[in-house]
Amino acid sequence: METIGVNSLIQSERELLDASKGFILFDSDLKVSAIDGVAIDLLGLTNQSVSGMLLSDLLKKDAFNILLKYTYSVIQEGNFVQHELKLSENPVRWFKVIIYPIDAIHFSMLFLDINRQKETEAALFRHKEKFNVLNESAAMLTSIKDPKQLLDSLFCRLSNLLDLDIYINYSWDKEQNRLVLTNHQGICKEEAEKFRFLVKGTAVCGTVAQNKERMVFEHVDECGNELLDLIRPLGIKAYVCEPLLSFGELVGTISFGSKKRSTFTSEELDLIHSICHQVTIVLDRMTKVDELTQNTETLEVANLHLKENERKLRLIIEKNEVERESKTKTNFLAMISHELRTPLNSIIGYSQVLESDQKDPLTDKQKSRLSKILSSSRHLLQLINNILELIRIDTNPETIKSNVKPIRIKDAVWDSLHSVSNNAKEKGISLYIEKDVEDITIEIDPIRFQQVMVNLLNNAIKYNKKHGTVTLYWRVDGRYLAIFVKDTGIGIPQSHQDNIFEPFYRVNHAIPGVEGTGIGLTLVKQNVLEMKGTVGVSSIEGTGSTFWVKVPI
């Protein structure tokens, strides 16, 4: 490449560039051959003579070091390089530096002032950040449900953007007429304790609460305002406090402070104001939702109580109805039974008279028929007596006096066997008492005991097989006497064994010639319970049953 004189190079470069751009011409040894007047101005140089100067003499060390590698790249490769560079901090000066070859030995370093562009970019960035903060805070406001967490998150986002170090949130306590420190960050616990409560008109927050107007303090460290006495020791330089108002009513205050900066721009104050406004709406909504939830919970509890009471009332009404119904039935049954017993006794009495009349003896046919009348009447009388006994125990247990006295079990059992012996004889059933039973005397109600034994023995005879046996035995087991009535009868299916003690429950309805009412075992159970004992059965269908009664001794 042909080389031309430096002056003509300057001339041609100057002609190519507009007045805002300055340039330095240098050679491959980084020796400066010329510097343009504009460049002298832009770089703030005083010395206009460049003779013998190197590129490093014109540029600050940091800037030169950065540009050096680009310069070598241009010298070696012959290419074109551009780079944005901050050449000074105070005042901030941004340049676009373009380095390119002019001919084989000359190179140009072009300086373009891009300060304005950088300021615009910074302003744009701040706007974008503000927009982001507002956007993010809107998202936080709708998603975060805990007030402290919400304020902490907002503060974290704001503090990054605005260089904030502290936030203080007071709630207005209407009843106590004072501000209560609710949330804060950047202050240690001990410090926070000092201003836990504030009355209206004191310090910055109290004054903001009173006037319901924002207060901004700049250069706090240099300002003597006594409202700042609490804040100043925290090292805060710029401080802003916003009132939190809901429909014009004070709900609290939020303030922000910075230890690094002394002022806020109006743009920043606007941002803080917008966020505080949103926060108020959300905090207010949270309080209302809280109140609503509490009211709902109270209502739910009250509702549950109401339902429970309603259920109890219904149970009482139902129980009363059942009791009334049962009482009416019982009274009716008792009345009918009494009314039936009188004529029945006459029938039995007259039948017996007829049966034993020697003067006018009955024919055999008449005797046979009369015997059926007598048998049916006695059966009916037994049924009526059983029903009356059942009602008596059921309705007035206290009227049954317990007549406990010492009895010899052997004697009592013999008495019972004696009462059923005719019955057994008629059916061809043999009755036994086991030989090795203990001869024991216990305190017991003999009438109840008798009733229980006779009922069990009669059943053992009634439900026995032809020529069957009934065996009685007892054992003393600790503090109990257990008596067993064992038969060789038809047995009771397992599925019925739990029910046979219920009133009117019968298993063998269909067995011809076996009469019954289904009351006997109910009376047995009630009598045994009266004696504080228990009763039960074990049975194998077709083989026989063993009923047992266990009473305390």
Q: Return the SS3 of 170.
A: strand
Count of chain residues binding ligand ADP (CB under 6 A):
20
**Counting contacts by CB under 6 A, is residue 516 touching ligand ADP?**
yes
Q: Tokens standing for 171?
A: 């709630």
**Counting contacts by CB under 6 A, is residue 385 touching ligand ADP?**
no
From the list 25, 198, 209, 500, which residue makes contact with ligand ADP (rule: CB under 6 A)?
Answer: 500
Q: How far is the CB of 385 from ligand ADP (least distance, A)?
A: 13
**Counting contacts by CB under 6 A, is residue 451 touching ligand ADP?**
no
Binding residues for ligand ADP restricted to 201-240, rule: CB under 6 A: none
**What is the phi/psi pair of residue 288, to 5°?**
-65, -40
- Measured from the CB atom, the residue of 56 and 538 that comes closer to ligand ADP is 538
Residue 495, H or E segment: none
Q: Is there a cis peptide before residue 91, judged by omega within 30 degrees of 0?
A: yes
From the list 460, 472, 481, 535, which residue makes contact with ligand ADP (rule: CB under 6 A)?
Answer: 460
**Counting contacts by CB under 6 A, is residue 431 touching ligand ADP?**
no
- Measured from the CB atom, the residue of 209 and 460 that comes closer to ligand ADP is 460
Question: How far is residue 471's CA from residue 153's CA, in Å, rounded to a whole number?
Answer: 90
- Measured from the CB atom, the residue of 446 and 518 that comes closer to ligand ADP is 518
Question: How far is residue 280's CA from residue 366's CA, in Å, rounded to a whole number?
Answer: 110
**Contact range with ligand ADP by CB under 6 A, out of 60-68, 180-188, 228-236, 455-463:** 455-463
**Counting contacts by CB under 6 A, is residue 74 touching ligand ADP?**
no
Angle between the N-to-C axes of helices 520-530 and 446-462, in degrees from 0 to 180, rounded to the nearest 10: 150
Q: Return the SS3 of 235.
A: coil
- Measured from the CB atom, the residue of 195 and 501 that comes closer to ligand ADP is 501
- Measured from the CB atom, the residue of 100 and 505 that comes closer to ligand ADP is 505
Q: How far is the CB of 498 from ligand ADP (least distance, A)?
A: 11
From the list 151, 507, 528, 535, which residue makes contact with ligand ADP (rule: CB under 6 A)?
Answer: 507
Instruction: Give the position of tokens 């804040």.
Output: 231
Q: How far is the CB of 511 from ligand ADP (least distance, A)?
A: 8
Question: How far is residue 517's CA from residue 506's CA, in Å, rounded to a whole number?
Answer: 8
**Contact range with ligand ADP by CB under 6 A, out of 217-225, 249-257, 338-346, 500-508:** 500-508
- Measured from the CB atom, the residue of 97 and 528 that comes closer to ligand ADP is 528
Q: How far is the CB of 485 from ligand ADP (least distance, A)?
A: 8
The answer for residues whose C-beta is within 8 angstroms of residue 451's C-beta and 6 or more apart is 523, 524, 527
Question: How far is residue 551's CA from residue 386's CA, in Å, rounded to a whole number?
Answer: 23
Question: How far is residue 160's CA from residue 139's CA, in Å, rounded to a whole number?
Answer: 18
**Counting contacts by CB under 6 A, is residue 98 touching ligand ADP?**
no
**Contact range with ligand ADP by CB under 6 A, out of 132-140, 285-293, 316-324, 515-523:** 515-523
From the list 489, 527, 535, 550, which residue makes contact with ligand ADP (rule: CB under 6 A)?
Answer: 489
Q: Tokens standing for 87?
A: 């050449």
**Counting contacts by CB under 6 A, is residue 459 touching ligand ADP?**
yes
Nearest Cα to 40, choosing from 117, 114, 111?
111
Q: What is the DSSP string of 77-96?
A: H---EEEEEEEETTTTEEEE
Nearest Cα to 548, choosing from 528, 531, 519?
528
Beta strands in 327-424 (DSSP E): 405-408
**Counting contacts by CB under 6 A, is residue 416 touching ligand ADP?**
no
**Counting contacts by CB under 6 A, is residue 490 touching ligand ADP?**
yes
Given a contact cutoff of 8 angstroms between Cβ atoms, the answer to whether 203 and 227 are in contact is yes
Question: How far is residue 366's CA from residue 372's CA, in Å, rounded to a whole number?
Answer: 10
Please classify residue 312 by burial: count the beta carbons closer than 10 Å to its beta carbon, then call 0-12 exposed, 13-18 middle and 19+ buried. Answer: exposed
Q: How far is the CB of 423 from ligand ADP (least distance, A)?
A: 13
Q: How far is the CB of 523 from ligand ADP (least distance, A)?
A: 8
Q: Return the SS3 of 456.
A: helix
Nearest Cα to 521, choosing from 540, 539, 506?
506
Q: How far is the CB of 351 from ligand ADP (least distance, A)?
A: 23
**Counting contacts by CB under 6 A, is residue 508 touching ligand ADP?**
yes
Binding residues for ligand ADP restricted to 518-547, rule: CB under 6 A: 518-522, 545
- Measured from the CB atom, the residue of 63 and 413 that comes closer to ligand ADP is 413
**Which residues make beta-bridge pairs with 197?**
180
**Counting contacts by CB under 6 A, is residue 549 touching ligand ADP?**
no
- Measured from the CB atom, the residue of 206 and 516 that comes closer to ligand ADP is 516
- Measured from the CB atom, the residue of 481 and 524 that comes closer to ligand ADP is 524
- Measured from the CB atom, the residue of 116 and 509 that comes closer to ligand ADP is 509
- Measured from the CB atom, the residue of 71 and 337 that comes closer to ligand ADP is 337
**Contact range with ligand ADP by CB under 6 A, out of 33-41, 265-273, 418-426, 498-506:** 498-506
**Counting contacts by CB under 6 A, is residue 420 touching ligand ADP?**
no
Nearest Cα to 288, choosing from 254, 247, 255, 243?
247
- Measured from the CB atom, the residue of 205 and 521 that comes closer to ligand ADP is 521
- Measured from the CB atom, the residue of 218 and 389 that comes closer to ligand ADP is 389
CA distances from 388 to 148, 242, 394, 419 (A): 78, 90, 10, 21
**Counting contacts by CB under 6 A, is residue 468 touching ligand ADP?**
no
The answer for residues whose C-beta is within 8 angstroms of residue 471's C-beta and 6 or more apart is 432, 433, 434, 484, 485, 486, 487
Question: How far is residue 478's CA from residue 432's CA, in Å, rounded to a whole number?
Answer: 25
Amino acid making up residue 402: S
Residues lying near ligand ADP in the complex (CB under 6 A) are found at 459-460, 463, 487, 489-490, 492, 500, 505-508, 516-522, 545
